[in-house]
């Protein structure tokens, strides 16, 4: 493999291109240590150490530092590492490590998220949030089932009443247009049509 380009990212970091394709990012001191020189071949042993030891270790440490601040899903960590320009194989190694110790557990993340958000968000909105964070639909369903066994989970009717009170909405004295607006508002909040009808006495 030929080092076809070394591109400056910052005072200390460089993008390395091998055979015209982006390969990885190294610090200036590492260029000297691994003898990475533009226009020259990169030694096989140096490439192996970079890809199998240096960068996986760095990616794993990055994961651990992120997780020290707050929980992440596997997909969120993958996106963070990808934006940090770690090679995919190194990202896989790092994620396998943190998953093996259950530092990352999407099922547990989903359960905790449901428990923390149940007083503020409907089931549909929580589902959408978790899907956006990269949690699979299967794990989301399992997490809701587990929380339900514990007596947890969003109470749509209670949430709806809470939002109606906040909006100073009285279904018994509201005009038709006001009721329509409230129904649309509750639907956007993820409340089911059946619960909305019940709350607004639309039956």
Write the pLDDT tens digit of every residue in 116-142. 999 999 999 999 999 999 999 999 999
pLDDT score of 171 more than 70: yes
Residue 173's pLDDT is what? 87
Residue 25: its H or E element: strand 21-27
In sign, the C-alpha dihedral spanning 67, 73, 75, 76 is negative
pLDDT score of 172 more than 90: no
> To the nearest whole number, what is the mean pLDDT of the chain?
94
Cα–Cα distance measured from residue 195 to residue 186, given in angstroms and rounded to the nearest whole number: 9
């Amino acid at each position: 493999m030929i080092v076809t380009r070394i591109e400056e990212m910052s005072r200390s970091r460089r993008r390395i291109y091998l055979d015209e394709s982006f390969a990885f990012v190294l610090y200036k001191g590492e260029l000297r240590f691994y003898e990475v020189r533009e226009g020259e071949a990169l030694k096989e042993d140096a490439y192996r150490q970079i890809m199998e030891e240096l960068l996986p270790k760095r990616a794993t440490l990055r994961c651990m530092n992120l997780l020290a601040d707050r929980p992440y899903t596997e997909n969120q960590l993958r996106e963070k590492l990808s934006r940090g320009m770690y090679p995919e194989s190194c990202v896989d190694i790092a994620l396998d490590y943190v998953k093996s110790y259950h530092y990352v557990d999407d099922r547990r993340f989903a359960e905790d998220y449901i428990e923390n958000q149940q007083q503020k968000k409907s089931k549909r909105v929580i589902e959408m949030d978790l899907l956006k964070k990269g949690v699979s639909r299967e794990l989301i369903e399992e997490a809701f089932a587990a929380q339900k066994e514990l007596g947890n989970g969003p109470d749509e009717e209670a949430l709806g009443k809470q939002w109606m009170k906040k909006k100073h909405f009285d279904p018994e004295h509201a005009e038709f247009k006001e009721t329509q607006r409230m129904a649309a508002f509750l639907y956007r909040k993820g409340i089911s049509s059946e619960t909305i009808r019940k709350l607004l006495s639309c039956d």
